[in-house]
Structure 1
């Protein structure tokens, strides 16, 4: 996806004006004008911004600060490199469907290829760069889904690994350094033990209080937390716990 097209997409999704983005860039210590931002969105003269400007724009839009930097690098890369990355993504996606027992029909493969062509490669590159638990993946942790509605196609691929817990909030059941395997649920009920991104990777017991999800620890010294999706992200219900014997 060309830099200008991705930039347009990100700004439209944000609901901000060029003036808003320029102001937020200034807040991050980088001065640009709305007219300069419009030029980048139009791809005028094929001028590309510096990495500093790209990072400021991405942060202003609430995205990974390297997203536009990587997109620019991919724009300028030789075509065989981008084709190779798309091929790797296609093979990985097809493999995940296979692990879930889904047989891809020629029609599904065509839809998958079409979606991969539309996806910004920069997002996939950043996701791969941030992975640290790939050796822990197994067929039981992979999931894949393809949807087609009114001619639009979406491919969702998930591969949650085991997560290492960073606190002792759930001792003696789950301690710091233990590994948990999760199962995502549409909703969680009282008694479920879930893992979430909070102060590192944490676990808590779910309690529903007055319609709110409260995350309750077992160990004293840790606070109960009223779940706030802006502050935490529940990744799933704990299915298994693995503890190394030292």
Structure 2
């Protein structure tokens, strides 16, 4: 849609006059006048500052991050606009294919109708959420572990020993050398690997996380990089 069209749309949908919007922006520490907003709507003015855009979106009860994204794109050089546009078109096509092959009946067409008028920012967020839903991944494993002890094997890094989608029972019992563990690292990433204690003198605080699948790399990490560590106790294979 673009920055200027997005502004006009959210102003119209707010039901407020330009004077009312300008006055309410003062509540967010931004002082502008109605004529400035009018110029923004008709593209006679360069996109506003980030501070002003945030205030405008909040006053109009619009999506703040989406509007800020539109402003960023409008201010970007042409080569960056072209690069982002090409990648977003690829993402949209990939999402259509993914949804068509993973949903049944009339669901793909209903999703297509739903996303038809999405902005690029809204589309990327939607795709991210759908991929998580379709692959049954937990977005917050730590929160999940507080309420349940079962997680799903999310990749094939431990095949053939643990096939993808296997249900794993985990707990916080003592982890020993050679155990299979579920690890959340301080950078937010998570792994299911074989736990190996490294006894060498120069590796006192390090452990090995070993993959069964040769196409995945194993790693050696410092113990302080581990945020959460759970022992895999049992597994249930899907039928």
Normalising by structure 1, what TM-score?
0.48
Which has the higher Rg, Structure 1 or Structure 2? 2
Q: Which has the higher strand share?
A: 1
Q: Which has the higher helix share?
A: 2
Normalising by structure 2, what TM-score?
0.49
